[in-house]
């Protein structure tokens, strides 16, 4: 077994203190505009020398360029390849013209997945437009009912006043504004070093950037947007809006599943989104809480959505070459951050400034050989190959626990990679354990009964009709989790032999060891 157990180095490493560092808004703003290091900015400001004057010129030029726009005064349609024409109000167009959201035009939705699926070059910007479209559509087509005993459905627009509808649309438009370059690909690196994810970065931008000014100019409270996105409001209607944007079957997932399938060409991800929306209902329980629920007759449409989601995992999100590319970018980013010893302020500032191309350039400037090599492997598509792939359930329990710990403890992951590969950068261990929703999807509320006789809310896993689907999800959860090892083919035999000694299989699984070992192109 490996000598270094999870958490041994993680507790002592610098990134534990970085996550606890205080956030300085003005410093982050300067980092975002200039791209400079925090210490250099502080020194220049203290000395008030020529460097500080140059920084002020950079700021002045930046805001002068951003000022070369005018507030919009009329609606405008933007043509989307998935949803068609999307109509935006003037305040939404002002947001879309802001630097913070324009950056998302250069952040790919699926990170380096285009290396495998050449069409998957769509962006977070497009996805935000699509999610906003679905929010608008929900207001138009979803119905609500206040009393399940005396059923009378009305349009959702009768429940949401004009301000709440603006909050809904703004939250949908801004829900991914904080995505770092390559989207989710480098979030593990950021979270491991500085305790940050894209929602933290988005919260900063919504409360401390040009986005803030635009929202306030149009009488929209930025804090309310954050409350909806972080699910921290106690207001029943705002809690409902949180469910629309962040829940097992939210409009965010609806758009990205359709969009990812469209651009990647993986048609298994296509499902009847229109039907799902039309069979969605909003109902209020006896405690006054609103629920997004689905008519029982919508179960087939829900099945199509859920199964499409899991097929997309199998065919796209968990594709071995996609995972290799993501692992190379993520690991290179973590070691580059560590090399630079970035502060929390620098992490927030730099990664809300960078685009995908900026990130790859930054990685290519590293003084560490394998970081530059990883970036070059992405550019020239010279990826590591799969040395072996084994089901997680084939390992002894203590070994399985070790692999599971690597999902959150990057130092334990790196220690094991070094011991397996002989030195840092030779090997990538990939623990595949996606959230397939076998628990959360079972809690989806279904409406059982009739509109004339009254309705009741029943969770999907409590209905006979829903049990086969939940069983299928649980079966996938048993099958899909696995451990993959990637490296160059010329050392694959040595890596497999070392892996077998470090991570023994269960006794009855050992006879299948040769079956698990593979090299894929």
* Residue 418 covered by a domain: no
468-492: average pLDDT:
88
* Residue 158 covered by a domain: yes
CB-side neighbour CA atoms (13 Å) of 36: 20
The model's pLDDT over 108-120, given as tens digits with 9 standing for 90+, comes to 999 999 999 999 9
38-52: average pLDDT:
95
Using CA atoms, how far residue 214 sits from 88, 98, 204, 300, in Å, is: 15, 9, 15, 42
The model's pLDDT over 339-392, given as tens digits with 9 standing for 90+, comes to 999 999 999 999 999 999 999 999 999 999 999 999 999 999 999 999 999 999
> Which SS3 state, helix, strand or coil, does residue 270 take?
coil
* Residue 407 covered by a domain: no
* Residue 187 covered by a domain: yes
> Which SS3 state, helix, strand or coil, does residue 169 take?
helix
Output the six-digit token pair for 285: 């329980």
Phi, psi of 290 (to 5 degrees): -90, 140
Among 208, 230, 202, smallest CA distance to 128 is for 202
**Model confidence, pTM:** 0.92
* Residue 452 covered by a domain: no
* Residue 325 covered by a domain: no
CATH number for position 113: 1.10.3210.10
> Quick one: DSSP state of residue 197?
-
Instruction: Evaluate if residue 409 carries a pLDDT over 90.
Output: yes
Phi, psi of 143 (to 5 degrees): -105, 160
Instruction: Evaluate if residue 516 carries a pLDDT over 70.
Output: no
Among 208, 245, 210, smallest CA distance to 227 is for 245
The model's pLDDT over 410-452, given as tens digits with 9 standing for 90+, comes to 999 999 999 999 999 999 999 999 887 777 888 888 888 876 6
Mean pLDDT lowest for which of 5-14, 43-52, 177-186, 396-405? 5-14
Output the six-digit token pair for 294: 């689905």
Helices 251-264 and 236-245, axial angle in degrees (round to 10): 20
Higher pLDDT, 46 or 450: 46
483-499: average pLDDT:
96
pLDDT of residue 442: 82
What span, in angstroms and rounded, lies between the C-alpha atoms of 264 and 109? Answer: 11
pLDDT band at 511 (very low <50, low <70, confident <90, very high): very low
Count of structural domains within the chain: 1
| Pairing verdict, β 154-155 and 84-88 | unpaired
Mean pLDDT lowest for which of 164-178, 468-482, 492-506? 468-482
Q: Rounded mean pLDDT of the chain? A: 90
Using CA atoms, how far residue 196 sits from 247, 344, 348, 491, in Å, is: 21, 9, 8, 35
Looking at the chain, the whole-number percentage of residues with pLDDT higher than 90 is 73
Provide the domain limits for residue 203: 81-318
* Residue 336 covered by a domain: no
What span, in angstroms and rounded, lies between the C-alpha atoms of 59 and 157? Answer: 43
Exposure string for 453-492, b = 16+ CB within 10 A, e = fewer: eebeebebbeeeebeebbeebeebbeebbbbbbbbeeeeb
* Residue 160 covered by a domain: yes
């Amino acid at each position: 077994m490996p000598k270094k157990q999870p958490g041994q180095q993680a507790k002592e490493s610098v990134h534990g203190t970085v996550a606890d560092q205080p956030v300085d808004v003005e410093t982050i703003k300067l980092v975002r505009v200039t791209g400079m290091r925090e210490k250099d900015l502080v020194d220049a400001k203290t000395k008030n020398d020529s460097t500080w004057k140059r920084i002020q010129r950079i700021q002045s030029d930046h805001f002068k360029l951003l000022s070369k726009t005018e507030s919009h005064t009329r609606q405008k349609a933007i043509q989307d390849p998935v949803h068609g024409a999307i109509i935006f109000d003037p305040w939404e167009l002002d947001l879309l013209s802001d630097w913070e959201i324009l950056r998302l035009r250069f952040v790919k939705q699926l990170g380096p997945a285009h290396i495998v699926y050449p069409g998957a070059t769509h962006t977070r910007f497009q996805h935000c437009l699509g999610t906003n479209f679905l929010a608008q559509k929900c207001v138009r087509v979803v119905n609500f009912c206040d009393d399940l005993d005396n059923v009378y459905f009305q349009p959702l627009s009768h429940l949401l006043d004009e301000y709440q509808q603006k909050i809904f649309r703004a939250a949908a438009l801004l829900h991914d504004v904080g995505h770092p370059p390559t989207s989710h690909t480098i979030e593990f690196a950021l979270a491991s070093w500085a305790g940050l994810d894209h929602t933290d970065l988005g919260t900063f931008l919504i409360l401390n950037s040009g986005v803030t000014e635009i929202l306030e100019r149009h009488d929209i409270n930025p804090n309310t947007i954050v409350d909806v996105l972080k699910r921290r409001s106690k207001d029943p209607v705002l809690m409902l809006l949180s469910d629309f944007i962040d829940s097992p079957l939210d409009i965010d997932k609806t758009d990205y599943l359709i969009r990812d399938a469209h651009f990647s060409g993986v048609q298994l991800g296509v499902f009847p989104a229109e039907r799902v929306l039309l069979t969605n209902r909003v109902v209020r329980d006896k405690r006054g809480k609103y629920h997004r629920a689905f008519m029982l007759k919508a179960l087939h449409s829900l099945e199509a959505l859920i199964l499409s989601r899991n097929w997309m995992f199998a065919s796209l999100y968990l594709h071995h070459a996609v995972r290799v590319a993501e692992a190379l970018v993520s690991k290179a980013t973590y070691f580059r951050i560590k090399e630079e010893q970035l502060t929390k302020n620098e992490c927030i500032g730099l990664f809300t400034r960078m685009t995908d191309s900026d990130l790859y350039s930054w990685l290519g400037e590293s003084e560490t050989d394998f970081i530059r090599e990883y970036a070059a492997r992405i550019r020239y598509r010279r990826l590591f190959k799969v040395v072996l792939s084994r089901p997680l359930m084939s390992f002894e329990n203590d070994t399985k626990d070790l692999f599971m710990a690597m999902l959150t403890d990057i130092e334990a992951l790196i220690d094991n990679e070094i011991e397996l590969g002989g030195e840092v950068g030779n090997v990538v261990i990939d623990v595949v354990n996606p959230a397939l929703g076998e628990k959360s999807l079972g809690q989806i509320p279904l409406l059982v009964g009739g509109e004339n006789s009254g309705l009741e809310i029943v969770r999907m896993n409590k209905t006979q009709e829903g049990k086969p689907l939940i069983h299928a999800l649980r079966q996938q959860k048993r099958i899909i989790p696995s451990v993959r090892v990637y490296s160059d083919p010329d050392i694959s035999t040595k890596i497999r032999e070392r892996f077998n000694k470090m991570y023994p299989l269960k006794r009855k699984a050992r006879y299948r060891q040769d079956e698990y070992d593979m090299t894929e192109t």
